[in-house]
A and B are shown apart, each in its own frame.
Chain A
Amino acid sequence: MNDAAPNAHSAAPARRLGDNAPLRLAEGGLIDRSRTLAFTFDGQRYLGHPGDTLASALIANGVRLVGRSFKYHRPRGILSAGPEEPNALVELRSGARREPNSRATTIELYDGLVAASQNRWPSLKYDLLSINGLAGPIIGAGFYYKTFMWPAAWWEKVYEPLIRRAAGLGRAAGVPDPDTYDKANLHCDVLVVGAGPAGLMAALTAGRAGARVVLCEDDFRLGGRLLLDRREIDGRSALNWVAATEAELAAMPEVRILRRTSVVATYDHGTYAAVERVNDHVAEPPSHEPRQRLWRIVATRCVVAAGATERPLVFPGNDRPGVMLAGAVRAYVNRFAAIPGRRAVVFATNDDAARTVDDLAHCGVDVVAVVDARPQASAVMADATQRASARHISGGAVTRVHGRLGVEAVDIRAANGATARVACDLVCVSGGWSPNVHLASHLGGRPEWDATLAAFVARNLPERMDLAGAAAGDLALADAFTQGHRAGSAAAEACGFSAASAPIPLLDPESTATSPLWRVTGTRGKAFVDFQNDVTTGDLELAHREGFRSVEHMKRYTTLGMATDQGKTSNVNGLALMAELTQTSIPATGTTTFRPPYLPVAIGTLAGHHRGKEFRPTRLAPTHTWAKEQGAIFVETGLWLRAQWYPTPGEKDWLESVDREVRAVRSAVGICDVSTLGKIDVQGPGAAAFLDFLYTNTMSTLAIGRARYGLMLREDGFVMDDGTVSRLGPEHYVVTTTTANAAGVMAHMEHAQQWLRPGLDVTLASVSEQWAQLSVAGPRSRDVLRAVVDPAHDISDAAFPYLAVAEVSAMGGIPARLFRISYSGERAYEIAVPAGYGDALVRALMDAGRAHGIVPYGTETLGVLRIEKGHVAGNEISGQTTARDLGLGRMLSRKKDFIGRALAERPALVAAGRPALVGLKPVDRSLRLRAGAHLVAQGAEPTAANDQGYVTSVAHSPTLGHWIGLALLSGGATRHGERVRVWDPVRSGDTLAEVCDPVFYDPAGERLHG
């Protein structure tokens, strides 16, 4: 931004309005009058300037009615000038970019902006549901808990749909968000949150000391309250100081300024989440840029200088458009040169509001009355009132607001009780300031009540965090500078830098004296505590009457503080009123709990680019490119994308392709990429003993050059994983794991290595990614391999029998590992080469195999082959099965300790009736079996008492010519030959099957040997 002169405030002239908008001052303000921005609100076209927010532009255009409230559909205007706004919520943008509940006060104006009011029908001005206001006595706090119960069936059908339609605020776009989001990490010495006077001072001090500083400012402009208050620093406009400071910070290489960036949450150990609105100030982000960016900031120290939030006053009609926070009014007249009204009443409890009196008078607004709730006249307020030629009422109150769609007049009650009606169109209210202690409280530190300040202040700060300025309860500007400097120095020094002392600027005099007024008593009509959720003093009284007296009960029962603003303007008033009702002190009543985020955060921002195909990384097998060329159909298995089957022309469905692949493996040879299996290299003098401890069977007796099937249990005795263990040398093994458990088994082994068996000298390395591994299976597999494995290596059955393993070379000197292991039950090999050669290997094998009828096969065929052989896989190793359940009881060594051995012997794990692995064949061989179907005895009813197990895996076996299944069935092998009912109501299945041995094909295992 480079627009208005820095000394714009002091140049503001009186009483002359601008031309393009009725309530725009002719001069002054931090807006760029040289450019005009057109925007629409509810279809009406208006003009504003760069530097405007939507709220300031609406005010300049004389728009007061901006929204409708949640429950009573009360007309609402603009209350604040910041993120605490509860009323002026709009639907911003249109179509897929529509953002409901957007705060007009924080929307930076851009050309072509489109906004619409929400939660009203048919129009903002005439909203039919405003009839709810008349039903107020019936639909007070918690009314819905007391009714809509009869008839019971009507809740979902009648009552709830009506309530849901009436509830909610704006409308979501309902279609995918077209924008992109980004995430990034930022590490720094000192994070400064907020670039008001305290934050700027802290950043400057730490920056000058040489610390790496990140300064985050929610606003698009640095300066904080110096932008809205006409203050002098060292005898000049405060804006000069802001400009000079900003320039100095910008010139420091170790200082990073993030504008439009809200630090929204504090996490443990100096971690913060911040949201940068990279492109919310334009109609659409440029195609190469994100809309927003989530910054994960890690800071050694943090200075929170997040300012304070002004509290409204609670009196009847306090929600009418035209009732505004006094500080916000200053922001509109001073920063935006827009006057929210022409005849103002100021109603306040503190001297800070005197500035509003002065500033209104300065720009020509007629201040008709200044109502100071304090019974003791304040000299500061009296002087300002006099300068503005207004009536001064000490100990008075506004008791009523006239006007439906906006303030037309107020009733003012003087200290003596006399009430007078005063015409006005603007009521500036101030009930004091609440420090923004949210970030200091996210880690659970409860803020404490400060009676002098009449506000909660942060105590028990998180480690590494400091507060400065108004956020710390130091409301005076002088304190903001002093404390900002102190905090900046301390933070820099904590990071090992030494900060120089700096002169604190000289300031004009100020007073922050305040005295709380929690509500105006002796009045009638709805006085709102929480504007957005329509929580009135009457609701709090009702909650109190019904016993909802603890803060959290009150909040939850009345919904106070639970709207999009999370009670930024309402929580303290609500708490104080409950304290009044229970006749206890505020500290005894409790504190509110501050939960992240400080400001609402778009879900898209938190997700970053992790959506669609980019949700999670995609792992590709080494032969992926080749498989794609073959027209493979791929399937997601975990993070991997694997070839599922390879259709050939003329095949009408997947089953036909898979049947062909299976037949080819059984009759000739097939090839499949099994690189996704976990591969772990185990070396060292302790390797053998280590593997004995990990596997249920013994690996120390494995001969060099041999492989063995291995089974692992979890320590709780259930099966964890299976795979092969191959011994390459006396102290060198390589083991495989299933694809799904590759990472888990590696961590499990490292746990055993480092924690359970630290004394064993053994080293582990995951080599899953380093080796491409292909299965070559089928009667002709050796013939194919012979052409690829270098001739020096003898792979004859005599030299290289079933379960042999060797380190060989292939394709002319490429190092390779050859394993004669079989998942399919056929003569089969797995050959591994360095991953980069995987593509070359598959091409070489396919070339060599062409003469032998080689086909590539995918995971479907892999599954059929293993089911025909009764091998268990992930469906059976479900984490709920024991080795005995799976027919692998013989693999539990009795001679050694191994992980899981002891707990596997618990009574229920060895009980006789446990479901155990069997095979199933449909009695009617033309019928299909489905995994997940449950089993009951033939003729039995499918009831819980009769449940005997379920089908774990099924396949169509082209070898047998019908569907087959594996199942876990009570009684297991003792049931062979029986018929069972296979019940699958969720897929309308109900058929009979024969129980058989799970090994359907070649039970003697002869084909393994060729």
Chain B
Amino acid sequence: MRIPCVYCGERGHEEFAYLGDATVQRPDASSATAAEWHDYGYVRDNPSGSHRELWQHVSGCRAWLVVTRDTRTHAILSVEAARDVALSREKAAP
């Protein structure tokens, strides 16, 4: 695969490390239930199709990226800097 890093351009995926599902959100420690922690830690949609996922450009700029990729075809639909995604998520949070 080739992943277009938002900072470095398109690179072979061997430069990147994979973490997994980017849609699971770390619960709010002050209020979360055990079930929410369990879901965050262990339960995944594992879709056949579009998947938002975290990669890190470990052999490049070290940026964490949110890559949206079709798991059936490996087609990469979008790439965003994870920090930007996380910041806008924080902003959107009440």
A–B contact with Cβ pairs below 8 Å: the answer is yes
Say whether A751 contacts B75, CB under 8 Å: no
A 753-794 to B, binary, CB cutoff 8 A, 1 in contact else 0: 111101100000000000000000000000000000000000
B44 on the A face (CB < 8 A): no
Contacts of A271 in B (CB 8 A): 1-2, 12
B79 on the A face (CB < 8 A): no
Say whether B83 contacts A747, CB under 8 Å: no
Residue in A268, A716, A755, A901 whose beta carbon sits within 8 Å of that of B54 in the complex: A755
B 11-51 to A, binary, CB cutoff 8 A, 1 in contact else 0: 01000010100000011011010100110010000000000
Whole-angstrom distance between the Cβ of A380 and the nearest chain B Cβ: 44
Contacts of A753 in B (CB 8 A): 83
A996 on the B face (CB < 8 A): no
Bound-complex Cα distance A267 to B76 (A) = 14
Q: Which residue of A lies closest to B27 (CB)?
A: A902
Contacts of B90 in A (CB 8 A): 758-759
Say whether A754 contacts B86, CB under 8 Å: yes
A807 on the B face (CB < 8 A): no
Known contacts A754-B64, A903-B37; A268 and B26 CB within 8 A of each other: no
Say whether B56 contacts A268, CB under 8 Å: no
Contacts of A901 in B (CB 8 A): 29
Contacts of A716 in B (CB 8 A): 41
Number of A-B contacts (CB under 8 A): 67
Known contacts A269-B2, A269-B74, A298-B2; A754 and B63 CB within 8 A of each other: yes
Say whether A755 contacts B64, CB under 8 Å: yes
Say whether A754 contacts B82, CB under 8 Å: yes
Say whether B41 contacts A756, CB under 8 Å: no
B92 on the A face (CB < 8 A): no
A906 on the B face (CB < 8 A): yes
Known contacts A268-B2, A754-B86, A901-B29; A715 and B41 CB within 8 A of each other: yes
A636 on the B face (CB < 8 A): no
A897 on the B face (CB < 8 A): yes
Say whether A902 contacts B32, CB under 8 Å: yes
Bound-complex Cα distance A751 to B55 (A) = 10
Q: Which residues of chain B in 57-81 are interfacial with respect to chain A, using CB atoms and an 8 Å cutoff?
A: 58, 62-64, 73-76, 81
Say whether B1 contacts A268, CB under 8 Å: yes
Residue in A267, A751, A758 whose beta carbon sits within 8 Å of that of B19 in the complex: A751
Say whether B56 contacts A903, CB under 8 Å: no
Say whether B54 contacts A897, CB under 8 Å: no
Pick the most buried of A443, A753, A758: most chain B CB atoms within 10 A of its CB.
A758
Q: Which residue of B lies closest to A907 (CB)?
A: B34
Say whether A906 contacts B34, CB under 8 Å: yes
A750 on the B face (CB < 8 A): yes
Bound-complex Cα distance A897 to B17 (A) = 27
Residue in B12, B29, B34, B62 whose beta carbon sits within 8 Å of that of A750 in the complex: B62
Say whether A750 contacts B56, CB under 8 Å: yes
Say whether A751 contacts B64, CB under 8 Å: yes
Whole-angstrom distance between the Cβ of A378 and the nearest chain B Cβ: 44
Say whether B56 contacts A751, CB under 8 Å: yes
Say whether A268 contacts B74, CB under 8 Å: yes
Q: Which residue of B lies closest to A462 (CB)?
A: B73
Bound-complex Cα distance A268 to B69 (A) = 12
Q: Give 9 A-B contacts (CB < 8 Å), ordered by A residue.
A: A747-B56, A750-B64, A751-B19, A758-B86, A759-B87, A759-B90, A897-B29, A903-B38, A905-B34
Residues of B that sit less than 8 Å from A by CB = 1-2, 10, 12, 17, 19, 26-27, 29-30, 32, 34, 37-38, 41, 54, 56, 58, 62-64, 73-76, 81-83, 86-87, 90
Residues of A that sit less than 8 Å from B by CB = 267-271, 296, 298, 443-444, 463, 715-716, 743, 747, 750-751, 753-756, 758-759, 897, 901-903, 905-906
Further contacts, 14 of them, CB under 8 A, given A298-B12, A715-B26: A269-B10, A271-B2, A443-B73, A463-B75, A716-B41, A743-B58, A747-B56, A753-B83, A754-B64, A754-B82, A755-B86, A756-B86, A759-B87, A902-B29
